[in-house]
Amino acid sequence: YCGQISLGHAVYFGIGAYVSTLLYTHAGLTPWLGMLAGGTLAALIALALGYPFFRLRGHYFTIATIVVAETGLLLVLNWDFAGGAQGIQIPYGPDSWAHLQFARDKLPYIYFALGLALLTWLVTFAIEASKSGYWWRAVKDNAEAAESLGVVVFRSKMAAAALSAFFTAIGGSFYAAFVSYIDPDSVMGFQLSLLIALPAVLGGIGTLWGPALGALVLIPLTELTRSYFGGSGSGLDLIIYGVLIMVIALARPEGLMSLFGRRREPRASARTHR
């Protein structure tokens, strides 16, 4: 919403996955508390990184996020306590919501994922309808103009970064509970950062339904490519991501949601003239 594009959000996803997993395997802490711990730590790290990074603009900020994500990946790869490159296997326990483990029936995971998506959407909707939402969009459109009108640009960017990191880490914790195994490449790889950012870029940055629309197009396309080409198509999804980014940047810089926005403009204009 503040116009900053991050290609390093996999680091927050990985923080959520590793914090909840380590707390569960070494301290016996329920994944629910692990999620909150991972989300809080990710938000704090986002605030710490935001202080120097939000002084950068455009591509420089994006490059800085990539550097952080790759640094985090290297640290975890060489961290023996977290399993290093081999990763961590989460021990199986009895099927229960307390342990967030359901080996026999995966349907509860679907319920949880839908609930998390709904919660994220409601929080986004509430922000969009609030003063903070107006401030954030103003920062995205023109940071200098927004600052001249009294908007604290730096504080707005920091708040958006912390909130984004928190929910990304929650997603990482859920992923760890779902697959019962994590390793650095699967939860902190650069491909994951692209997969996190691209739906929003494709659908429309700073829009309520843009990321959902982008995911609706991107995810089925990726899965169809994998199922059709199999192992012979390794890396093809990355090529698809790159092509989509170039096409959207050239044809629809505002994303697919701009198609719907332009259709409503004549009606809004007609009401204005009346």
For residue range 217-267, list pLDDT tens digits in order.
888 877 787 777 655 556 677 777 778 777 877 777 777 887 776 444 444
Average of per-residue pLDDT values in the chain? 84
Is residue 132 within 8 Å of 152, Cβ to Cβ? no
Say how far apart CA 258 and CA 249 lie, in whole Å.
13
Candidates 80, 102, 98, 97; CA nearest to 180 is: 102
Using 50, 70 and 90 to split pLDDT, how confident is the model at 205? confident
Q: Residue 230: what pLDDT?
A: 59
More confident residue, 57 or 28: 28
Q: What is the pLDDT of residue 232?
A: 55
Task: Average the pLDDT over 266-272 and give the result.
Answer: 42
How does residue 175 score in pLDDT terms, banded at 50, 70 and 90?
Answer: very high
Strands 181-182 and 88-89: antiparallel
Count CA within 13 A, CB hemisphere, residue 131.
Answer: 3
User: What pLDDT is recorded for position 35?
Assistant: 95
pLDDT digits (tens, 9 = 90+) for 65-116: 999 999 999 999 999 898 888 899 988 877 788 888 887 888 889 999 999 9
Q: Average pLDDT, stretch 38-43?
A: 96
Structure tokens of 65?
């996020």
Confidence of residue 210 (pLDDT cuts 50, 70, 90): confident
Q: How far is CA 28 from CA 22, 24, 172, 180, 231, in A?
A: 9, 4, 18, 15, 38
Mean pLDDT of 151-171: 91
HSE, side-chain direction, 13 A CA sphere, residue 261: 13
> Residue 173 pLDDT > 90, yes or no?
yes
Sign of the alpha-carbon dihedral angle for 204, 209, 211, 215:
negative
Of the listed ranges 50-64, 128-142, 146-160, 253-267, the one predicted with least confidence = 253-267
User: Residue 216 belongs to what H/E stretch?
Assistant: helix 210-229
User: Residue 24, CB half-sphere, CA atoms under 13 Å: how many?
Assistant: 30
- pLDDT tops 90 at residue 38: yes
Residue 263 pLDDT: 43
In a 13 Å sphere around the CA of 92, the CA atoms on its Cβ side amount to 5
